[in-house]
Amino acid sequence: MHQAGLSLGGHFTPANIPVYTSQTLSVRLTGVHFTRFTQVNGYIDYDQLVTCVEEMFSLREWVPPAIEAWLDLIQDGVTGHEYLIRYNVALMDPAQAFQWLMEARGILEQLRFRDPRTFQLILGMHPEMDDWDSNSYCLNTLLAQTRGFIDRRDPTQQPTVFEHDVTGVLTVCRNSSQHASRFLERFMVLILEFDFPALLF
C-alpha cells in the first residue's frame, strides 16, 4: 500500500484485520479512507498496526516475546528492517524457521572467506554465544550426542571440535539435524529455543 503511494493515516482498527478459526487472516478496507502517503502518515500506520496486533493478542493471551520483538521492528518504521520483518522466525512454522537458520549458516560460512570484516561484525552481534560450549549449554540429549560424536575414521578418536562462537552452535545444529536429529527438523527450533534462546530472537 505504501509502495503504491497510499496510506490509511492510522484510521483502522482490529475489526479491519479479522482472523478466522481456520487461522486465515484477511484485510477489510470497508469504512477506511486512503490518503496520500507521507513519511508521517506511514509511521502512523505502523504504530496503529502494532496497536491492533497487541489488542488482538490481549483478547486471548499475552503477546509472546518473539512477536513483541517483531512489532518493535515495525514500530521503528520498517525502513531498513524489511528483510527482518518479512523473514522473522516467529512467523514461520518450526521446520521452515530451522531451514532459514541453516541457510543463514551457509551465508555466514561464505562471508568467513569473502568478507572477513562483515563476518567478524556478525560474530560480534552474538557475544552471548562465545561460551556456548560450556557445560551449561547443549542440555538437549540430541545436541549433546552430536557434540560428543567421534568419527571412527579419525585416528585421534577425539570428539569433533566446534568453533567457540555462534558458528559453532550453527554447525552443531546442522550436524544434529543430519544425524542424531534426522527427520526431526520440526523440533529443532524448539530445541534451540530452549538451549540457545538468544540465537533465534
User: Model confidence over 37-86: pLDDT tens digits?
Assistant: 888 888 888 888 888 888 877 766 777 777 787 888 788 776 666 666 77
Residue 21 has pLDDT above 60, yes or no: no
Q: What is the mean pLDDT of residues 6-18?
A: 83
Residue 19 has pLDDT above 80, yes or no: no
User: Model confidence over 148-180: pLDDT tens digits?
Assistant: 777 778 788 887 778 888 888 888 888 887 775
User: Model confidence over 94-144: pLDDT tens digits?
Assistant: 677 778 788 888 888 999 999 999 999 888 888 888 877 775 566 677 777
- pLDDT score of 93: 66
Per cent of the chain over pLDDT 70 is 75
DSSP-assigned states of every residue in the chain:
-TTTTEE-TT---GGGS-B-TTS-B----TT---EE--HHHHHHHHHHHHHHHHHHHHTTSPPPHHHHHHHHHHHTTSTT-HHHHHT-GGGS-HHHHHHHHHHHHHHHHHHHHH-HHHHHHHHHT-GGGTTTTSTTS--SHHHHHHHT---TT-TT--PPP--SSHHHHHHHHHHHHHTTTTT-HHHHHHHHHHH-HHHH-
Q: What is the mean pLDDT of residues 171-197?
A: 72
- pLDDT score of 184: 66
Q: What is the mean pLDDT of residues 23-44?
A: 78
